[in-house]
Amino acid sequence: MTAHGDRPERLAAAARLLQQELLEALALASDAIADDLAERLGMVAWEREEQIGLAQRRLQQLREQRFDHHGGEPVLVRELRAQPLEALELAWRELRCGRRVHVESEAGACPGVHRILRDMAELLGGAGLTVTAPGILDHPQASWRRVGVEPRCERVALVQDDADHELAAYLLARACLRRTG
Q: Is 90 helix (H, G, I), strand (E, B) or coil?
A: helix
Residues 104 and 161 both lie in one domain: no
Q: Does the pLDDT of residue 178 top 80, yes or no? A: no
Distance CA 56, CA 125 (A): 24
Alpha helix ranges (H) inside 42-181: 45-64, 86-96, 111-124, 165-175
Residue 1 lies in a domain: no
Q: What is the pLDDT of residues 148-164, one digit of tens each?
A: 766 666 666 777 888 88
Residues 134 and 159 both lie in one domain: no
Residue 87 lies in a domain: yes
Residue 178, domain extent? 152-181
Q: What is the pLDDT of residues 20-66, one digit of tens each?
A: 999 999 999 999 999 999 999 999 999 999 999 999 999 999 988 88
- For residue 108, how many other CB atoms are within 10 A of its CB? 13
Pick from 2-11, 49-58, 65-74, 85-94: least confident: 2-11
Domain count along the chain: 2
Whole-number pLDDT of residue 181: 44
Residue 79 lies in a domain: yes
Total residues found in the chain within this entry: 181
